[in-house]
Amino acid sequence: MFSTGFKYFLGVTVVSIAALIMSLFVLDQLAIAGVAISMLITVTALLAGIATATHDGQTTTSTPDSSGELATQSIWPLVSGVGVVLLALGLVTSSIVFFAGLIVLLGALVEWMVQSWSERASKDTNYNALARKRLLNPIEFPILAALGLGVVIYSFSRIMLTVNKTTGASLFIIFGALVLVGGVLFAIKPNMKRSIGVAICVLGALGIVAGGVASAVSGEREELVEAAAEGHFTHAECGPEASKYFDKLAEGTLSLRSSVSAIVVYQDGELIANIQGLVKPQKTLTIGRSIPTNIVFRNATEGEFRLVAHLGDKVADESTDGETHKNETCTQLVAPGAEQSLTLKISKPSSAKNAYYLYIAGAEDKKIELVVP
């Protein structure tokens, strides 16, 4: 009388109703949750009705065969439980935990499903285990290998961040040479004991991981710490001179090319803004209040120049007697013919003329007024 589909959807409906009732007590604002759960109830109730009306679309009934074999012990229910807990925990803590839970849960469910299936394949336990391996090992091994390699590579990267450049290059050479030697060894000694090969690989990996841990504890080399302190994207001194770290490795290419607010070009001693929709080059640029605005600076001269955005004067703290200093942000020194983007966000309107403007470092008369209405 009651089809499987009907029971399933009825069960979901009942659980959803319970969830709706619970949410009435737990949630302050029921608007979205209430609508969502009500829709779920409606849909599952409708599906339950359809399932029973159509007898799950079955015209004949059949009873599934049973192998009669008892299931072996399995770790996957436990792992699934851990996944569910991480999932729930992630909902209230962080998305990383949530996705970790999701991965653990999905992985465990796949393992559990295949194990259950394989245990019913035959009455021969060994054959069943083989069936499971044939299905899952091609997936498990690459994943485990990738995870192991990931740990080794990450550890190696920590080592590279700690040692100086020369040592780093040497380590790379040594590491590459060792891999080559190991490969040659395995090639010329095909009958070498498997355990020896495993031992070499494991010891090597452990050595790198141990080195990585030690490097992580020791911290990054001073040069990198200084560069990070200076800031890769913000630079306090937007002068014409080159900065030790900020201007290092200024890239001549730019991924942001379309949908920008304006392309600011420095050419023939003039600074102009090309704005899509306006035919003539502009000397003023209107940008919205509190809107992240991307500008591309194109250096069409023969020298290296930096575009600076003057964003008003900032009043310093009381210790400097209210002295003001410039509030500026800038690009790196841009090579001839190269481009770089600059993102601005201005929250106050430009009530006074020339409150905000763009200019070329070292040539303050080359400017474009920024109008913030």
- Which residues of this chain interact with another protein, rule CB under 8 A? 1, 28-29, 31, 49, 52-53, 59, 259-261, 275-279, 284, 286, 288-294, 343, 345, 347-349, 351, 371, 373
Burial of 17 (0-12, 13-18, 19+ CB in 10 A): middle
DSSP lists the bridge partners of residue 314 as 325
**What is the gyration radius of the CA atoms in the chain, in angstroms?**
33
Shortest distance in whole angstroms from residue 355 CB to another protein: 11
Shortest distance in whole angstroms from residue 347 CB to another protein: 4
Residue 193 or 280 having the CB closest to another protein: 280
Judged by DSSP in three states, 24 sits in helix
Shortest distance in whole angstroms from residue 224 CB to another protein: 28
Shortest distance in whole angstroms from residue 30 CB to another protein: 12
Shortest distance in whole angstroms from residue 28 CB to another protein: 8
CA–CA dist 298, 280 (Å, integer): 17
Residue 159 or 262 having the CB closest to another protein: 262
For tokens 């009942």, the residue is 14
Residue 53 or 192 having the CB closest to another protein: 53
Of 263, 242, 240, 235, the closest CA to residue 327 belongs to 235
Q: What is the DSSP letter of 319?
A: G
Shortest distance in whole angstroms from residue 289 CB to another protein: 5
Residue 294 or 324 having the CB closest to another protein: 294
CA–CA dist 80, 351 (Å, integer): 60
Judged by DSSP in three states, 299 sits in strand
State the CB neighbour count (10 A cutoff) for residue 353: 8
CA–CA dist 367, 196 (Å, integer): 70
Residue 55 or 366 having the CB closest to another protein: 55
CA–CA dist 281, 272 (Å, integer): 6
Residue 1 or 217 having the CB closest to another protein: 1
Shortest distance in whole angstroms from residue 3 CB to another protein: 11
Residue 48 or 208 having the CB closest to another protein: 48
| Phi and psi based region of residue 290 (left: phi greater than 0; alpha: psi -120 to 50; beta: remaining) | left
